[in-house]
Amino acid sequence: MPHPMNHQAGPDDDILAGGIAAGSIVLTMDGALPVEFLSPGDRVITRAGARELHSVSARMLAGHPYRIAPGALGHDRPDGAVLMAPGQRVLIRDWRARALYGQDQALVPIERLADGAYVAQARDITGLRIFTLAFGAPAIFYADGLELAAAVRVTATV
C-alpha cells in the first residue's frame, strides 16, 4: 500500500473533505507545530482534551483554497491570514452561528462563511499542499487561532 503522504485518490478511494494548508500551526502536547510536522500517534489538543492523531494525509488541492483574513472570525481569530480547502468545517461560536443557524455554535464549511472580502476564495493560489487530520472519532482541533473539525471521510463518486 502506498504511503498516505504520497497517495493519489482514485475512484474507489475515500476522499478526506476539507484540510488546512502547509504551514498552518496546530496545537499539540509538544507545542504549536506546523501541520506538516505531525505524524500518527502525536497528541493533538482538541476541545475534548488531548487526542491521539490517527492519520495525517497530504494532497495537492486541485482548485482554489479559501483565505481568511486576520480577525475575520473574531478578535485574533485567526491571528494571521489562513488558507484552507473548500469543505473544511470551522466551529463558530458567535453572532454568525445565531444568524445562520439559530444556535450558539455551529460547524460550518468555510465556503458558507465567504463574504468576498474577509473570507474569500484565493483565486491567485493554485496547487496548494493541503493536510487533513483524522482521529478515531469526531474532534475539533486548534489551528492558527481557529477551531476546526477533523477530517470527515466521504465516498468518492465517478
Residue range 69-82, pLDDT digits in tens: 999 988 888 989 99
* 39 close to 57: Cβ distance less than 8 angstroms: no
Amino acid identity at 130:
I
The secondary structure of the chain in percent helix, strand, coil, rounded to multiples of 5, reads 10, 40, 50
Its pTM stands at 0.84
Amino acid identity at 88:
Q
Mean pLDDT of 75-93: 93
pLDDT in the model for residue 52: 97
* Mean of per-residue pLDDT scores for the chain: 87
> Which is nearest to 151 in space by CA: 33, 55, 41?
55
| Cα angle, residue 69 at apex, residues 64 and 74 outer, rounded to 5° | 130
Residues 36-80 have pLDDT tens digits of 999 999 999 999 999 999 999 999 999 999 999 999 988 888 989
pLDDT higher than 70, residue 26: yes
pLDDT higher than 70, residue 107: yes
* 22 close to 133: Cβ distance less than 8 angstroms: no
Mean pLDDT of 134-157: 84
